[in-house]
Structure 1
Amino acid sequence: MAVEIRLSAAEVARVRLAVSPLAETVLGVRAALGIGGHEVHRPWVRNAELALAGESELPLLRTLLEGCLPSFLFPVPQERLPTFDAELTGLRATDPAYVEAQCAAALGPRAGELPGPTLLLERVAGALTRCYARLVAPHWGRMRAVLEADLGQRAVALVDGGVEGLFTQLHRDVVWREGELVVHGRRRPGAVWTVEAGGHGLVLMPSVFGWPDVIVDYSPRTAASIRYPASGVGLLWEQPRATSAGLTAVLGRTRAALLAELGEPLSTPDLAARLGVTASAVSQHLGALRDAGLVTTRRTGRTAVHLRTRTGAALTAKPSD
């Protein structure tokens, strides 16, 4: 099914970018249940399956997530980088009538098996709180680094190419036509669903657990939204390379890890994504390593690329190298 999102000139001016830890939790639970997700997440899923084993609300979550996803589970973030708790407060405040209508639209007759909307919201909010703590929070630093790096990449695309340049780079299934954004689905070819932004604009959100698909809210209450695959997800679950225990003791874990990664030229966002720390933290550590003569930095256009020096390489070399 193709989805057409109609945007007026005023709504195009309200296009913004955001990250949603609540949505990542919902989609992560779905992947852990074996309903969605991609093989790239297999290392994470293996541990997530064990962490979910004792969750009392698994039958309820499975019912909600195994088919079309009810829109009430994906409130649009009000900020660029909201906290999970802030988003959960918004979820709890959802109009029960909207919850009921969304469950009916997504689940059909099976919606009758669910508790009433007020109790449903409370049970889902409690379950997602526990799932976030068990499944997402331990990895949120790395996930957030990947998502923030993607936001930076999209912001540059917007500056360089305007809204059209931003849309063009999102995903091969996303096509911009003057005043209309079309997301091509791979099921039910020929069918078209129209979404009106209702004067609220459009929010674009990179996603880890939605990767590699594009997810569109068919029934937005406020702004229309698209969740697209974040760049760099393929590196997210890689284990950090081993570093010398002695070097780590002297430099600290993050600086030793930076040196280990910089056997190849990498940008600050790349390093942040690999190490699961913020770009600002990477910049501070790189500054110290540069001052010590262990790292060199070259700027290509707007991108700074870093590489360890011969001294830095000598420090990270194994005795057999």
Structure 2
Amino acid sequence: MAVEIRFTAASVAKVRFAVSPLGETVLALRILLGTGGHTVHRPWVRQARPLLAGERELPLLRALIAGSLPSFLFPTPTQRLPSMAAELDLVRATQEDFFRQEYGAVLGIPAEDAPEPATVLPRLAEALRRCHESLIAPQWGRMCAVLEADIGRRALTLVEGGVQALFAELHRDIAWDDGQLVVHGRRTPHSVHTVDTGGHGLVLQPSVFNWPDVGVDKAPVTAASIRYPATGVGLLWESPPPALTGLAPVLGHTRTQILAALTEPLTTAALATRLSITPSAVSQHLGALRGAGLVSTQRKGRTALHLLTDRATHLLGTPPPRSPSSDTVT
């Protein structure tokens, strides 16, 4: 099914980015409750699936998440990076009519036969909280660094080239045509569903667990939203190259971690999040690595991206990351 998202002039000006910990938790559960998702996630699936086995609300999660996903599990983020608790509050506050409609559509029953929200939503929210803490939170620093780095790159494209340039590079299934955004479906390509932003705008959400596909909220309550695959996910679950183990005693643990993270260009803030250290500490280590000829820094506007040099990739035996065109800072 293709989805057409219609814009007004006002809603084009309201295109923004956000990261949803709740959305990532739900999408991760869909993988664990299904066939395992894309092969890129297999290292994580092997570790996470045993942790889910003891969840007492597993039947409820399976009923609502294993197949089609209800829209009330994906409230549009009101902030760029909301907390899991804030998003779960939105789930608990789902309007009764909307809950019944979505619940009935997922389970294939009439909306009037759906249970009262008060009997389902509190249990569901608590189950999602537990799943986030056990399955997602231990990896959230790494995931968030990938998502934030993606937003940084997309935001630069939006500023420099406008929405047309942004959508042109977002995903092969997304096309922008004079005020209308089309997300092409593959299963039923001749079917079309229309979403009107109603002046609320569009929230673009990079995703780890929706990778490599695009997801569209077909029944938005406020702003429309699209989940698109974040760049860098393919390397998220990979173990560090063997050469890094030997470098740690020479360079130190933190500098070795920085080299491992820079298999994709990252900002100082993204590195600090991924390594759980302060941006100033990252800057000091980057200075030493630049001095050794292992890291270069490229500026594009106000944003600085750090990446491995040819010397570093040769030393590590890894392919060089794709770097944006910009001025190199040595």
TM-score past 0.5 threshold:
yes
**Which residue in 1 is equivalent to 2:265?**
267
What is the letter of the counterpart of residue 234 of structure 1? Answer: G
SS at match of 2:228: strand
**Which residue in 1 is equivalent to 2:165?**
165
**Which residue in 2 is equivalent to 1:276?**
274
* Whole-Å separation in 1 of the counterparts to 2:112 and 2:242: 53
* Whole-Å separation in 1 of the counterparts to 2:246 and 2:169: 43
Pairwise CA RMSD: 3.2
Tell me the CA shift for residue 94 of structure 1.
Answer: 1.8
What is the letter of the counterpart of residue 142 of structure 2? Answer: R
Q: Deviations over 1:157-193 (max 9, x none)?
A: 1122101111111111111111111111111221111
**Which residue in 1 is equivalent to 2:321?**
none
Q: For residues 286 and 202 of structure 1, do their structure 2 counterparts lie closer, same or farther at Cα, with a shift above 3 Å needed?
A: same
Q: Does 1:44 align with 2:19?
A: no
**Which residue in 2 is equivalent to 1:199?**
199
Tell me the CA shift for residue 243 of structure 1.
Answer: 6.3
**Which residue in 1 is equivalent to 2:326?**
none
Residues 95-104 or 175-184, more deviating: 95-104
Q: Deviations over 1:210-244 (max 9, x none)?
A: 01111111110000000011111100000123567
What is the letter of the counterpart of residue 276 of structure 1? Answer: R
* Whole-Å separation in 2 of the counterparts to 1:57 and 1:39: 27
8 Å CA contact retained: 2:211, 2:229: yes
8 Å CA contact retained: 1:37, 1:211: no
8 Å CA contact retained: 2:44, 2:237: yes
Tell me the CA shift for residue 298 of structure 1.
Answer: 5.2
* Whole-Å separation in 2 of the counterparts to 1:234 and 1:313: 18
**Which residue in 2 is equivalent to 1:177?**
177
Q: For residues 261 and 13 of structure 1, do their structure 2 counterparts lie closer, same or farther at Cα, with a shift above 3 Å needed?
A: closer
**Which residue in 2 is equivalent to 1:297?**
296
**Which residue in 1 is equivalent to 2:79?**
79
* Whole-Å separation in 2 of the counterparts to 1:156 and 1:295: 25
Identical residues among aligned pairs (%) = 56
When the two structures are superposed, what TM-score results if normalisation uses the length of structure 1? 0.85
**Which residue in 1 is equivalent to 2:216?**
216
Q: For residues 159 and 308 of structure 1, do their structure 2 counterparts lie closer, same or farther at Cα, with a shift above 3 Å needed?
A: closer
**Which residue in 2 is equivalent to 1:137?**
137
Q: For residues 94 and 285 of structure 1, do their structure 2 counterparts lie closer, same or farther at Cα, with a shift above 3 Å needed?
A: farther
Q: For residues 29 and 113 of structure 1, do their structure 2 counterparts lie closer, same or farther at Cα, with a shift above 3 Å needed?
A: farther
What is the letter of the counterpart of residue 60 of structure 1? Answer: L
Tell me the CA shift for residue 209 of structure 1.
Answer: 0.4
Q: Does 1:229 align with 2:229?
A: yes
Gaps of 5+ in 2: 318-330
8 Å CA contact retained: 1:71, 1:217: yes
Tell me the CA shift for residue 294 of structure 1.
Answer: 6.0
Tell me the CA shift for residue 256 of structure 1.
Answer: 2.3
Tell me the CA shift for residue 33 of structure 1.
Answer: 1.0
Tell me the CA shift for residue 299 of structure 1.
Answer: 3.5
When the two structures are superposed, what TM-score results if normalisation uses the length of structure 2? 0.83
**Which residue in 2 is equivalent to 1:23?**
23
* Whole-Å separation in 2 of the counterparts to 1:271 and 1:294: 21
8 Å CA contact retained: 1:37, 1:210: no
Q: Deviations over 1:29-74 (max 9, x none)?
A: 1101125631110111111110001011111111111322110000
* Whole-Å separation in 1 of the counterparts to 2:267 and 2:72: 32
Tell me the CA shift for residue 125 of structure 1.
Answer: 0.3
**Which residue in 1 is equivalent to 2:151?**
151
